[in-house]
């Protein structure tokens, strides 16, 4: 059931993106910022958890796990530390929402971290940020400093001085696997970033073996709105099981790519229309609903509501709403070959199916892209990918198999053509380039 009118945008986190100096505390407060924290600090922590549970907010980092429920998994306080760790490692190909959000509206995250820490009883929270984004790192440091100087976080703040919070912003060294929550925790502790065996889950033994909540940037930044406006306000947007607003990032062959914050349940057809349509003279060939790790979809899926359940039923995953649009000039084999290079490069090497399998798939994809494929290669890809998916230690292995399997499912002919004809002959690069050599559109 959709509660919001079709085709409606709901700018909440992105509302101030075009405001002058949108990233400053002054602008954020002028627009009602920190009202959510003010209200949360008058409530019992358990009531804050219940409010977020009632809002139906689901994790925006990919898996869509209910946020309030995750918080409630922490064991009762035992006098020792408990942590919130924000996952800002965003690096999935196509995914580009957390970094713009941090750049334009960092106080939404700082306020969300303060409310979340109050709710879970944490006094020290961390942001694990992708280190290459130095400008975002600086902006986040400044936002934390502003909040501390304004007495919004720090020691003995809040109405009766009962709230203590320090925030540490940590810049990672740039590895996709460090976005996996347990590899992230190892990296934050100074170890090599590789996934941990679960259980124990981070809620029980996370950072420094203490109870820890790991949440995505957009999940945490969505919390202030819920506290300021109430869970009813949030559930009035979206669908029954995928509530609220979310950032949909459209890239590729549309006229105006960008961020579109909309209720869950909006369709790709509506979003493409808002993005000015497919570039003139071309038509849609395929798209991803949530980055390179989600099975590709085609024109027949344009009216699927973009909520967790409907996209799952359509055979894919909503994940991070990284909507990459490819028109008919694009070689599916070439795109999937680049993604396979990425997964092979980012495989952490801990388990055999992913370490060996991604390397093998990369070699096969390269010969198909070059028109030198063997007649057995398409079936070989299906076999190797089936031995990675579901048999790897973490979801990176599954992610590497998905594009190959869905690519062959929808475009097997193109893969088979790779046994005789290079992709560059079938689909010249120039035809799919968005910019010409002079950099013009
Ligand atoms: C290889 C890999 C990379 C990931 N990268 C990210 C990331 O960059 N950001 C993120 O929030 N979650 C990422 N995740 C998902 C996290 O493990 C985790 O589910 C998420 O941070 C939980 O937050 P949420 O419940 O708020 O969505 C990744 C998972 C895997 C397997
Ligand atoms: S699936 Fe890949 S990334 Fe994950 S543990 Fe195994 S080798 Fe490392």
pLDDT tens per residue, range 93-130: 999 999 999 999 999 999 999 999 999 999 999 999 99
By the 8 A CB rule, do 55 and 217 touch? no
pLDDT of residue 86: 98
Q: Which residues of the chain have pLDDT under 50?
A: 1-2
* Strand bridging mode 245-252 / 284-288: unpaired
Decide: helix, strand or coil at residue 124. strand
- 260-282 burial code (b ≥16 CB/10 A, e <16): bbbbbbbbbbbbbebbeebbeeb
Question: Whose Cα sits closest to atom 30 in ligand 1?
Answer: 180
Domain 332-429 has CATH 1.20.1440.230: yes
For ligand 2, is residue 392 a contact (CB within 6 Å)?
yes
Please tell me the distance from the alpha carbon of residue 275 to that of residue 255, in angstroms, as a whole number. 6
Question: Whose Cα sits closest to atom 20 in ligand 1?
Answer: 61
Question: Whose Cα sits closest to atom 8 in ligand 2?
Answer: 348
**Ligand 1: which residues within 6 Å by Cβ?**
59-63, 65, 87, 89-91, 176-177, 179-181, 214-216, 219, 394-396
Please tell me the distance from the alpha carbon of residue 306 to that of residue 239, in angstroms, as a whole number. 10
**Residues 25-235, CATH architecture:** 3-Layer(aba) Sandwich (3.40)
CA dihedral 390, 392, 398, 403 (to 10 degrees): -110
Among the bound ligands, the one closest to the CA of 180: 1
For ligand 2, is residue 351 a contact (CB within 6 Å)?
yes
Contacts 24+ apart (CB under 8 A), 278-281: 278/253, 278/254, 278/325, 278/327, 279/253, 279/254, 279/255, 279/327, 279/434, 280/255
For ligand 2, is residue 347 a contact (CB within 6 Å)?
yes
What residues does each domain of the chain span? Answer: 25-235, 245-327, 332-429
Q: Residues near 43 by Cβ (< 8 Å), separated by ≥ 6?
A: 51
By the 8 A CB rule, do 102 and 231 touch? no
- 81-108 burial code (b ≥16 CB/10 A, e <16): ebbbbbbbbbbbbbbbbbbbbbbbbbbb
Read off the tokens for 286. 């395929």
Among the bound ligands, the one closest to the CA of 393: 2
For ligand 2, is residue 355 a contact (CB within 6 Å)?
yes
For the segment 3-49, what is each residue's pLDDT rounded down to a tens digit?
A: 556 568 999 999 999 999 999 999 999 999 999 999 999 999 999 99
Among the bound ligands, the one closest to the CA of 356: 2
- Which ligand 1 atom lies nearest to the CA of residue 396? 1
Q: Which of 346, 437, 424 is nearest to 392 (CA)?
A: 346
Q: What are phi and psi of 5, to 5 degrees?
A: -60, 145
Q: Which of 397, 416, 415 is nearest to 407 (CA)?
A: 415
Question: Whose Cα sits closest to atom 23 in ligand 1?
Answer: 215
For ligand 2, is residue 393 a contact (CB within 6 Å)?
yes
The β-bridge partners of 239 are 2
- Which ligand 1 atom lies nearest to the CA of residue 70? 25
Residue labelled with tokens 């009762």:
76
If you measure from the C-alpha of residue 298 to the centroid of ligand 1, how many angstroms do you get, rounded to a whole number? Answer: 26
- Which ligand 2 atom lies nearest to the CA of residue 195? 5
Q: Which of 52, 83, 87 to mutate to test the pocket of ligand 1 (most atoms within 8 A of CB)?
A: 87
Q: What are phi and psi of 325, to 5 degrees?
A: -110, 130
Read off the tokens for 38. 């003010």
Residue labelled with tokens 């929270």:
125
pLDDT of residue 2: 46
Among the bound ligands, the one closest to the CA of 350: 2
Alpha-carbon distance values, 264 to 15, 175, 246, 278 (Å): 17, 29, 7, 22
CATH topology of domain 245-327: Ubiquitin-like (UB roll) (3.10.20)
């Amino acid at each position: 059931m959709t509660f919001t009118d079709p085709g409606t945008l709901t700018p909440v986190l992105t509302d101030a993106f075009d405001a002058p100096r949108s990233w400053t505390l002054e602008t954020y407060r002028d627009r009602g910022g920190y009202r959510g924290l003010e209200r949360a600090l008058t409530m019992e922590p358990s009531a804050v958890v219940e409010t977020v549970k009632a809002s139906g907010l689901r994790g925006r980092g990919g898996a869509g796990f209910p946020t309030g429920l995750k918080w409630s998994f922490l064991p009762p306080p035992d006098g020792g530390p408990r942590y919130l760790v924000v996952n800002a490692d965003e690096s999935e190909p196509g995914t580009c929402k957390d970094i713009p959000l941090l750049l334009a509206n960092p106080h939404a995250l700082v306020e969300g971290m303060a409310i979340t820490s109050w709710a879970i009883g944490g006094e020290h929270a961390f942001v694990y940020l992708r280190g290459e984004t130095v400008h975002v790192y600086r902006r986040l440091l400044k936002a934390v400093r502003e909040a501390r100087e304004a007495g919004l976080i720090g020691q003995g703040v809040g109405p009766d001085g009962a709230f203590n919070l320090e925030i540490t912003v940590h810049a990672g060294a740039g590895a996709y696997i460090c976005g996996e929550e347990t590899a992230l925790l190892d990296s934050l502790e100074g170890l090599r970033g590789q996934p941990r065996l679960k259980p124990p889950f981070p809620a029980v033994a996370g950072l420094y073996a203490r109870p820890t909540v790991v949440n995505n940037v957009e999940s945490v930044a969505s919390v202030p709105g819920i506290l300021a406006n109430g869970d009813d306000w949030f559930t009035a947007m979206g669908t029954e099981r995928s509530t609220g607003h979310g950032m949909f990032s459209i890239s590729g062959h549309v006229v105006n790519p960008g961020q579109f914050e909309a209720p869950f349940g909006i369709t790709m057809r509506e979003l493409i229309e808002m993005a000015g349509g497919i570039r003139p003279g071309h038509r849609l060939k395929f798209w991803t609903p949530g980055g390179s790790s989600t099975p590709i979809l085609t024109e027949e899926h344009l009216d699927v509501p973009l909520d967790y359940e409907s996209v799952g039923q359509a055979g894919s995953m909503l994940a991070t709403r990284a909507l990459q649009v490819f028109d008919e000039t694009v070689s599916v084999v070439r795109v999937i070959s680049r993604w396979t290079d990425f997964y092979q490069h980012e495989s952490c090497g801990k388990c055999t199916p992913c370490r060996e399998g991604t390397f093998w798939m990369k070699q096969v994809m390269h010969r198909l892209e070059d028109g030198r494929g063997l007649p057995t290669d398409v079936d070989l890809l299906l076999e190797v990918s089936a031995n990675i998916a579901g048999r790897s230690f973490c979801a990176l292995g599954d992610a590497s198999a998905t594009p190959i399997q869905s690519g062959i499912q929808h475009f097997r002919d193109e893969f088979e053509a790779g046994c005789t004809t290079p992709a560059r002959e079938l689909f010249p690069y120039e035809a799919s380039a968005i910019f010409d050599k002079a950099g013009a559109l």
